[in-house]
Copies of this chain bind each other. A is one copy, B any other.
Amino acid sequence: MSAQMSIASPEEPHSAPTLSAVAKLAGVSSITVSRVVRLPDLVAPETRGRVEAAMRELGYVPNQLAVALARARTRSIGVLVPTIANSIFADTVQGLSDELEPLGYAVILAQSRYDAAREYHMLSALLSRRPEAIIMVGSPATEDGARLLRRAGIPVAETWDLPEAPIDAVAGFDNYEAGVAVARHLVGQGRSSLAFIGGDDPRATRRWNGFNDTAQALGAKAPRRLVLDRNASGSVVALAELPGVDAVFAANDAHAIGFMSGLRKAGLLRDGPAGEQTVAVVGLGDLEMGRLIAPSLSTIRVNGDAIGRTAAKLILAREGPRHIDLGFELVLRDSG
């Protein structure tokens, strides 16, 4: 038995009831039904009652597609993230969705999986549904993608970064400066053999650049950079590839915690404060977990929820600043 059949009502192979079906049942014209939904005050109480009864009886739910076509307003926004699972971006999606859903907007979610071709494809798929705005993590990987967004003529928010030539709105922080801050802290603590572990996406690379430039400028040895795939557990074994290193900046907290787990196995983790660690570790993101584990994780705190909410506000705003730097904060705990 097909899915369709197994849930069809006993009556007919119904499709969703329309405005005019309700109208017929209530003995009025469709426009009157439409008015009962949108402008009830224009309809006489007696009529309205009849129409409302008919709607209830049929289980009428307005067809937003038709509404969108007729009014040229879809009340939907496209959201493009690299990935949503196990990720700091989930907070951002939650934040923007909390901001947008009460306003009646639907969130259409797409993932690029850090792949330029897929990104372009999803961008174009998103746009074909005529969202009223696009919010994305990062910036388009290709000029083609950027052109697509510019031509769409809708508000666009790029997040989690501060692009030099943004398409429209921006809600992020300076990834380069985050790297600078960590390098400064680590070198200031007397560490001299630094390493960076993480992905090689644009934002991670920006962090690396700030980290690398600053470490060298402050007289540390040239830091090593270890590019890991997206699988956080890979970072557990990263230790083997980094002999002699005494401080690590991980591009995100998941990598940092994975790396610390490697340190623990190697017997290189102390319960004491930062200064006592054989290998200092600093993450990025401030996952709650980082606060709870021992030793607690030092990290660059970034408010993903605020980024999402801010992006949502920016695409809705008709005026005011369009580029917002949410900043970050170096939170020092026991790991480094």
Query: Residues on A close to B: CB < 8 A?
Result: 1-4, 6-9, 14-16, 59, 61-66, 68-69, 72, 74, 76, 79, 83-87, 90-91, 93-95, 97-98, 101, 104, 106-111, 122, 124-130, 147-148, 150-156, 167-169, 232-233, 236, 254, 257-258, 260-261, 264, 288-289, 291-294, 304-305, 315, 317-319, 322
Contacts and interface: CB of A to CB of B under 8 A. Distances in A.
Contacts of A288: 86, 232-233, 254, 258
Report how many copies the assembly holds: 2
Nearest to A113: B98
A108 B110 contact: no
Contact of A91 (B14, B86, B91): B86
Contacts of A101: 110-111, 122, 125
Contact of A153 (B7, B90, B151, B154): B7
Given A2-B318, A153-B4, A236 B64 contact: no
A94 B83 contact: yes
Given A3-B317, A84-B97, A125 B104 contact: yes
20 contacts: A2-B318, A14-B153, A16-B152, A16-B153, A63-B128, A65-B68, A76-B108, A76-B129, A85-B305, A87-B90, A97-B109, A101-B110, A101-B122, A101-B125, A106-B129, A108-B109, A109-B109, A254-B289, A257-B289, A260-B292
